[in-house]
Structure 1
């Protein structure tokens, strides 16, 4: 499981940062890629990666500000041009209005897609569990921005215990159907009369990963709830230390507020994005250093950076 950042800038693109978009790569888990936000130029950023657009099966939009959604029409259109690959449907989750935005854009431009878009819109009254599969759940909760905006909590369900194959072989169990029975939790009896207790050869279930991806927000308790115990917390850092007043005015957070959220949520790692274009390279290093003074496992990400979820 990896996160790759396609755009880490705030509001408008700069020479070093495109606007908001990232992907959660679940290739080993379910052979899919999930996208979160799709600002202008996202499809161009994808060309600099190994991401295959057809692998993107789900898109989650945090809010309808242009720097988070204006790349959607272009991306959806380009996804249709890969004629050599199978056409697959896509699920699009987001606030009420995302369907109208996409369909109007496609209609006005005369774009016809060879696949279906399944829209899943929500408002303040229909949040909570918005997706559940056999391996993942996704919860959404409202944040505190200048427009309706949400954060997402992606939870991997606990993984099955692994079979101790070497232990079974050492116990004299022949490789074959008996291995399968033990893996399924069935005790077995060997020809010599010895009983093999299945639970002794299967490890405990492994805890699934939790990834929290927040949209634009002021400092709010909702961020802490969404990030509780997360392996990775992605939080905006539009402003820096001492900018609390202007951050609140414009519906955003500082690096220190993000660090405070991560600390209170007992998150394992904090990744800061949505960085204002006014911050130069040396300023970004200071953003990271200041936040690390409160939450040491903090990193300010850059465009195209890939982070493994450990």
Structure 2
């Protein structure tokens, strides 16, 4: 960890993330920066992928950091912009939560926007891990989760229920349990291969996913390990029981849940949808590995 003096920040707002009071949060952040005489540039995303494009193409060499106002999907776009441009080597990422999930911010213990800004302005910069994902020659990055099977199905359904707010993740999970589609899983975890029935696969860099679910209770942001939660086969009743334990983290004690820590994995099926950092994007096959301490964020772990 290092400590830097904040003189200039780039604020990035995703107007479509979470609830509708983004401008209120933005104005509060700008007011605080004005009072402290900290310079800032404000960019508002206009389309999916715009944040990544902006970071890659804009000259940001005079800025100490990029601060996103949004949720996990907004963070993902910023991470990809920083990594693809190489600016992750010189700039830190700040997170001001304003999404509907905010799983990554929950790991940092920063769920209130102005308190998150206060943490950023202290200037503590810490390198953390992230995923590097390869799909048929295309490379992209993730900082939170990679989900397959029911983990992707839940997110697809939750997006259709966005009007319900954060509770949509729990409702979508319950509906998916009732439907409970079974999938064919073909994966390699480090050097161990598996091919057969699978219900649920989630690779995590963070403890939390969804809205307050402690999916990987042993995850640490800078430990160099990917936490895997895997359910191959179980009855609807058993899966429902597992779901009720997600918020406490006790699901990992269920005999139907495999919990392990690895450094790389591959999902080898073709065309299965994925949940990447809470966004419905990407399909299998993929090869994923962890980049240890590959990106810097404003936090003090």
TM-score, normalization by structure 1? 0.31
TM-score, normalization by structure 2? 0.32
Larger Rg: 1
Report which of the two has the higher share of strand: 2
RCO (CA 8 Å, sep 6+): is it higher in 1 or 2? Answer: 2
